[in-house]
Structure 1
Amino acid sequence: MHDGNPHRPTSSGPRAVRRWRRRLADEREEAAVYRELAARRGGEEHEILLGLAEAEERHARYWEELLGDDVGRRRRGQVRMRVLVALARRFGSVFVLALAQRAESRSPYHYDQDVPASMAADERIHEEVVRALAARGRAQVSGSFRAAVFGANDGLVSNLALVLGVIGGNVPTSTVLLTGLSGLLAGALSMGAGEFISVRSQRELLAAATPNPQARAVVPYLDVDANELALVYRARGMTEQEARRRADALLQDPKPSAPAPRSEDEHEVVGTGLKAAVASFAFFASGALVPVLPFAVGLSGGPAVLVAVVLVGIALLLTGAAVGVLSGAGPLPRALRQLAIGAGAAAFTYVLGVLFGAVAA
């Protein structure tokens, strides 16, 4: 927070005024983002987002005071900030928070000589607040999102590799289409079943490690002393001193208490087996359908291969960018990484298909 009226820095001039106007416009856009997000949330998150909006409006007032008579007409912020406002207005999802986190991390205030140190520090704190809010959303969607991304990526890469491998063996278009559709169905069923078993097994492991809430009810009837009961807490990872303190307190007040709420890990992070299985099946099938589409609509030979490769490449870029956005990292590096891995796998199987085709011939 900047106290008092700011004095105009020595760097003032036409270029500085233009920069200050951009800063003012961006602060207004950021405030709008947080207000739109707050409107779609309730409780504590609503209050936190409103607090962020008020802080950005305070920063905007700093630039207004700095500009004085040069404030000019109301301007729009950068394109990325305007896109964030539009997304926040319509969706209010974790993706918007992840984008807002990235925007806060790229704040130019840390090297802008016209920005008070206190305001630059504010932006650092805003980044951490948004990071924590985004982490809540990531935890809620991580189970299904993981299954969706892995399913779509596996469908794209594995079926493109399968189709290109078969094409390399010089088989008819009908065989390529049948192979692609068979790979789609077999892979989707396998992915869905595997995801269901994986998530259910993980939840069962967590449940087995969760303390039994009924155990406290038998404490008044135990033939043990505090030292023996302390072993329970030490087995859960407490220090000997802390375990002894908890055991003494429990023996003094052994009345059963309300069961503790189940852990966040078990609910949000792991997800449910059925939801993860459905997401994995659907996204694998949708991804695996992409390389088959050109052949399904009647294309064959080189044109079909070219269209399939381009479509899969675009889809891989999109899934990689989605992972980057949700993780708060740069979407472009993640998109290119996804594309490189998929292209490498497809090229390898195509070469194998060509080699086997040549041997068979």
Structure 2
Amino acid sequence: MAPLLEIRNATRHFATQGGAPVTALDGLSLTVADNEFVTLLGPSGCGKTTLLRAISGFEDLDSGDILIEGTSILDRPAHARPVNTVFQNYALFPHMNVARNVGYSLEVAGVSGAERARRVAEALELVGLGGYGERSVRQLSGGQQQRVALARAIVARPRLLLLDEPLSALDRNLRQRMQEELKQLQHGLGISFVFVTHDQEEALTMSDRIVVLDGGRIQQLGPPEDIYFRPENAFVARFVGESNLVTAHVLSRSGEEGLLEVAGGARLVLSGDRVVPGIDATLLFRPESVSVASGPEAAASEPGAAGLSLAGRLTQSSFTGSDYRLEIDVPGVGPLKATVRHLAQSSSGGLAPGEPVALHVPSAAIHVLAGPPA
């Protein structure tokens, strides 16, 4: 069965004011399945908006192809493609009421008044704005305007909905609520969503799969859990969530397991194809995986210990409400981050900057990255 959307070797170059070429898309290939929520995530200039505009028909490719249900759409203008777009600024018509904004595409398409009214009412109900049809869009809050933009996008029943950072203008609480509602709406409608954001938390919360982009290329593609816990390289590890990256030298390997040593002499045993004797490996572990105990400086773990044990000194402690965010200086390794629950912090008697602490990371929480250390 053909994917709903297929992008083949998409390439797009731009010229800067000085004439130097910039590669926005560099031979990018991607598929999106029916009823799938895929998020394009990456820093500014990584190519995510260019890709979205190419799918919608507002940007031409230099080379490559874009297919929907196995048929190329490159020769179709934007209005003839079976996709709709929700823009960052919503692009509502201020002189029209809510109902006319939502039904405008149907009006242009010549849909009869009765059918148009029925479908507009249905779309407004889906986004929680039933009864708002006669209101001016100027009377609506930012969250309500966002819902109107969504209703306008889904009223024409597209196979694919493109969303270009539609939640960026909302406050934090409303943004979190709209994330949940968007996900529920997507599954309820059975429409595939391609969502653009630079907000990693938003991507992790909403997506079936995440496409992490940098320099017009896909750095990693997979479900949120893989992106967060098993990043492919240092760029993904640093961009998605907070991370600790530690270089370790692989001393030896026996069967599936290898013995590694970090600066200062701490050793640990890990398994995996990336544990190759004689090379330096980059180890990733998240701050929430680190357990912290106060007391005298701990010795490095013995070979065969189930994880990595380090000794350091607390340099910074910040209370976030439910957690403490700690920064710990480990000689030879550098600053490491840890997140500990408030109760765990209290039971240890409290930690103060300058105090020696012992760290431990279980083996299951340590991931070996591909490629050289960043």
Report the TM-score, using the length of structure 2 for normalisation: 0.25
Q: Which structure ranks higher in relative contact order (CA pairs < 8 Å, sequence separation ≥ 6)?
A: 1
Structure with the higher strand share, 1 or 2: 2
Larger Rg belongs to: 1
Larger helix share, 1 or 2: 1
